[in-house]
Structure 1
Amino acid sequence: MTSLWLDRPDLPTFPRVPGGRGFGVVVVGGGLTGLTTALLLARAGCSVAVLEARTLGAVTTGNTTGKITVLQGTKLARIARRHSRRTLGAYVEANTEGQQWLLRYCAEHDVPVQRRPDLTFAQTEEGRDVVGAVQDAAREAGLPVEWVEDPGLPFPTRGAVRLANQAQLNAGDLLVALARDLERHGGEIFEHSRVLGVRGDRPARLRLADGEVRADRVVLATGTPVLDRGGFFARLAPSRTHALALAVPGPLPQVMAIAADAPSHSLRTAQVTGGERLVVAGGSHPGGRAVSAREHVAELTRWATTHFPGATVTHRWSAQDYRGTDELPSVGPLMPGSDRLFVATGFDKWGLAMGVAAALALSSAVLEGHMPWARAVRTWRPNAVTGLDRAVRLNAGLAVRLVADHASPRVRSTAVVPPEGQGRVELRGRRLVAVSTVDGVVRRVSATCTHLGGVVSWNDAEMSWDCPLHGSRFAADGTVLEGPATCALGAPAER
């Protein structure tokens, strides 16, 4: 499953980081936030390295829908329900600044961008009320939105709110530009360099599988933090979304759009050699908790081909992002009062504008500058208590899930292996074993997530083991795909 953005031969590759190196700043994570933070610091003369566990853009950035918008579906309405008008305004100001920085950067570095209006539309009368709340929140934050009764989409709608002059891009183009620019400014990039832990302070020592590197400051730009200190895993809810690129005969709507009500579908166009593709996304579900992720993809395909007759799928992919329990991202020190270890997380699938805003805030903090809007989204903000009720409910539910998963009846270890593309958790003595068959190879690994002990479940769309607690994901052979886990699923223990 390769996204439309990463299906290209010109993506640069980088070596592993050699042990024993030292840097002024190490940025952990090679997505948009990490690369932009590193670039801003390198421009300021800092010694900077980016350490990416897999390859650049392999997780969220390379699997985005590529919308650079401030409207953001129902996000503004959800923030407005839980926060003050001032906080809502600061969030919009942050995203606007991130968006404008990114658009300027793309113009200066020949990264193609298409300007489009962005729509949040209703599919039902109940959805119409939600869209009305989006319009109210957007206007409260000073955005020039308008109500559109008929947005001109090729399926029934019940009205939409529209924000003109937003934008879309190919995330692969952006990753290539940022990586090359970072190197021109003296920054270094290392791939296949997973950080397993950080200890010490001055300097910090980052532990890797085959050594360690030193840094005066560390920035975690990994979607969800790969360090448990600060307890961010307990304040974030992982959500996985599926996407398709389709070749469609005839003209396509020249808008970006997303539904406010379920089942939510997102769409945009994408320029390719010889024409355009339709990009649709949907089928969102909590990470590791889909009965069948493949069925979510199938339903998304049915929806797209029903409303766009003659459409054929050219690419399928999925992405995971994290929503903060108080609806706001968290950008700043990993621990209260720290000026050495920073984090950015909780973008809730709107990480192009907000990810750049986070990079602006992080680089400013390292360089001892100030972003006026950053106070509203900083990690240890006073109003974080507004999300405490949701955090308590989330973690209570996860505790129940953990106990239930360990106590659930299991198929006992058997010679009958799962069919191709399938996996299941078996009981082997007193141990839970994850067994799967992929490309004709049967693999058995421990079914216990190496983060906090959740029982993994099989993702039949991506052939992976996903943890239902905090969103860690593992390949069929147990290799870590994304965190907060940093260690692979081990071999199953003996009886």
Structure 2
Amino acid sequence: MTSLWLADRPHHLMAPTLADESSRSADVVVVGAGITGLVTAVLLARAGKDVLVLEARTAGAGATGNTTAKISLLQGTRMADIVAKHSVAVARQYAEGNRAAQQWLIDYCAARGIGVQREDAYTYAQSPDGVARAEAELAAGQSAGLEVEWVDDADVPFPFHGGVRLADQAQFDPMPLLDNLIAELSEHDGRLAEGARVQRVSHCGTGLKLHVQTHTGLQVDVHAARCVLATGIPILDRGGFFARLTPHRSYCMAFRVPGNITPGMYISADSPTRSTRSAPTAAGDLLLVGGAGHPVGRSSDPDAAVQELAGWARVHWPGAVQTHFWSAQDYTPIGALPYVGPILPGHDKIQVATGFDKWGMTNGVAAALVLAGRILGDPIDWADAFASWSPHDLSGLATAVQANLTVGFNLAKGWVTPATRIGAVPGEDCGVVSGPPWRLAAHSVVDGVHRTVSPVCPHLGGIVAWNDADKAWECPLHGSRFAPDGTLLEGPATRGLTPAG
């Protein structure tokens, strides 16, 4: 399961993995080599900072390499959600930050010769029930200063009951951007170490010590004056961001379809989510279709939703042939605004960036602009809408209470439910947790290989559930994910599942 952006790339050799002791210190260590981490690193390196980027896997292996890569200020119904919880002034700041990020990204791509396609963006109603939500997004977007308009019809093959249009937005393949950011980082003497997973960060004198395990098994300490966590969800529990975010998994497919693909970027205001765009390739344009999202670890049959989404595409584009399938993880903040800034109030040595809620192309760059401004002593006016600690977040308290009650329920459910499945054995491409609570085991069979690991998530002790679409274990508490053999795929856990004894 490889995204369109990551498939068919030249063979990649991992960047050096800190074997040289002289490479284990920097002014700023950025954790995570996606769009947020690498833009932050480049901005700091341009200003003369000694920057080291640590990436647990390879650059772009997380959300950036698995996105739909829409560079849009019209973001589904996100603006309506923000206006419902905050003032219009805050919504305008959020829009201004995304506009600045969009322009930075487009300008960078133009300067570096990176292909970008300009397209109109639409948030539309796929049924009469969705019209009110689309109209609410229109009103919210107008109040935030976006030049949105209502359209009754669109030249699309799927049901369209009116929607919001924002002209002249953008889309692209994000991986050439990352390649160029890595090259520029090197031009400014910055460094990238891939296969280097940060497991802990502690204070050491006047600075920080990052405890890192490389993909070769080497345990090393990296020293820095400051640290930026650009890891999707912060890998450190201080600040409790895991309790202020809800992790969601969503899926995307690429199709080769007969005839021309209708231009534009579309996302439905009503459920189930349907997201579409075109993608140019050397062999012609492909259709990208996304959706089938669910809270991580809490769907009983993700594959059924994925198959339903694929069926929807084939109904509306007869003759469509699937070429790629992938998934991504995003984090929804309780207050509808991203968290960018200190991990704890007044603790500027460790900065975080999270809560982009599926719109990381613009929000990731906006976060990088905020973080670089904070570190370099050049704060940005609109940054208040992105604050990691703010009175704005009080609007999400009820959501936070409900979310964490659900986490508690899933924690208890995970430990109790498997007792009814003692002795269960999975079939091909399946996984099951079985056994009494004092001896639980997670069994899976993928490609004929039977594996058994502990189902206890090393983050906070949740019991993992099987995702039959991704063929992976997922923790229903805070979204940590693991391969069938227990290898950690993404956090907030910082190590994998324990092999069964």
TM-score interval for Structure 1 and Structure 2 normalised by the shorter chain: over 0.9
2:32 corresponds to: 29
Task: Give identity over the alignment, percent.
Answer: 49
CA distance in 2, matches of 1:320, 1:458: 16
State how 1:288-307 maps to structure 2 within 5 Å: 288-307=297-316
State how 1:436-451 maps to structure 2 within 5 Å: 436-451=444-459
2:411 corresponds to: 402
Task: Determine if contact 1:454/1:468 at 8 Å carries over to the other structure.
Answer: yes
Task: Determine if contact 1:120/1:257 at 8 Å carries over to the other structure.
Answer: yes
Q: Any idea what SS the aligned residue of 2:53 has?
A: strand
1:204 corresponds to: 208
2:145 corresponds to: 142
User: Is the alpha carbon distance of 1:9 and 1:472 closer, same or farther for their aligned partners in structure 2, counting shifts above 3 Å?
Assistant: same
- Is 2:118 the partner of 1:115? yes
Task: Determine if contact 1:17/1:51 at 8 Å carries over to the other structure.
Answer: no
2:469 corresponds to: 461
- Is 2:246 the partner of 1:237? yes
CA distance in 2, matches of 1:298, 1:158: 24
Counterpart amino acid of residue 408 in structure 1: T
Higher alpha-carbon deviation: 331-340 or 18-27 = 18-27
Counterpart amino acid of residue 182 in structure 2: A
How much has 1:9 moved relative to structure 2? 2.6
Deviations 1:152-181 (A, max 9, x none): 211121101100000000012212121112
Deviations 1:27-80 (A, max 9, x none): 000100000000101111111011011111111000000100001010000101
The count of corresponding residues between Structure 1 and Structure 2 is: 492
Counterpart amino acid of residue 133 in structure 1: A
How much has 1:410 moved relative to structure 2? 3.1
Task: Determine if contact 2:416/2:437 at 8 Å carries over to the other structure.
Answer: no
1:423 corresponds to: 431
User: Is the alpha carbon distance of 1:59 and 1:215 closer, same or farther for their aligned partners in structure 2, counting shifts above 3 Å?
Assistant: same
How much has 1:11 moved relative to structure 2? 6.6
Higher alpha-carbon deviation: 171-180 or 85-94 = 171-180
State how 1:56-455 maps to structure 2 within 5 Å: 56-201=59-204, 202-209=206-213, 210-410=219-419, 414=423, 417-427=425-435, 430-455=438-463
How much has 1:10 moved relative to structure 2? 3.1
Task: Determine if contact 1:94/1:374 at 8 Å carries over to the other structure.
Answer: yes
Higher alpha-carbon deviation: 279-288 or 16-25 = 16-25
Deviations 1:384-413 (A, max 9, x none): 111111101110111112112211143555
Q: Any idea what SS the aligned residue of 2:280 has?
A: strand
How much has 1:18 moved relative to structure 2? 2.9
How much has 1:281 moved relative to structure 2? 0.2
How much has 1:492 moved relative to structure 2? 2.8
2:16 corresponds to: 15
Higher alpha-carbon deviation: 257-266 or 19-28 = 19-28
Q: Any idea what SS the aligned residue of 1:410 has?
A: helix
Q: Which runs of 4+ in 1 moved over 2 A?
A: 8-13, 17-20, 409-414
User: Is the alpha carbon distance of 1:221 and 1:409 closer, same or farther for their aligned partners in structure 2, counting shifts above 3 Å?
Assistant: closer
Structure 2 segments unaligned to the other structure (5+ residues): 214-218
TM-score (norm 2): 0.96
Q: Any idea what SS the aligned residue of 1:50 has?
A: strand
Deviations 1:404-448 (A, max 9, x none): 22111435554x732221010011572211110112211111111
How much has 1:338 moved relative to structure 2? 1.2
Counterpart amino acid of residue 451 in structure 1: H
Task: Determine if contact 2:208/2:226 at 8 Å carries over to the other structure.
Answer: yes
2:495 corresponds to: 487
Query: Alignment RMSD, CA only?
Result: 1.3
Q: Any idea what SS the aligned residue of 1:478 has?
A: coil
- Is 2:495 the partner of 1:476? no
Structure 1 segments unaligned to the other structure (5+ residues): none
Task: Determine if contact 1:19/1:211 at 8 Å carries over to the other structure.
Answer: no
Task: Determine if contact 2:418/2:434 at 8 Å carries over to the other structure.
Answer: no
Counterpart amino acid of residue 5 in structure 1: W
CA distance in 2, matches of 1:255, 1:236: 30
Deviations 1:433-484 (A, max 9, x none): 1110112211111111111111100111111100011000001111110000
2:216 corresponds to: none
TM-score (norm 1): 0.97
Counterpart amino acid of residue 447 in structure 2: D
Higher alpha-carbon deviation: 259-268 or 11-20 = 11-20
Deviations 1:354-397 (A, max 9, x none): 10000000011111111001012111112211111110111011
How much has 1:187 moved relative to structure 2? 1.0
CA distance in 1, matches of 2:7, 2:445: 26
Task: Determine if contact 1:417/1:437 at 8 Å carries over to the other structure.
Answer: no
Task: Determine if contact 1:417/1:442 at 8 Å carries over to the other structure.
Answer: no
Q: Any idea what SS the aligned residue of 1:23 has?
A: strand
Counterpart amino acid of residue 2 in structure 1: T
CA distance in 1, matches of 2:387, 2:268: 29
Q: Any idea what SS the aligned residue of 2:197 has?
A: coil
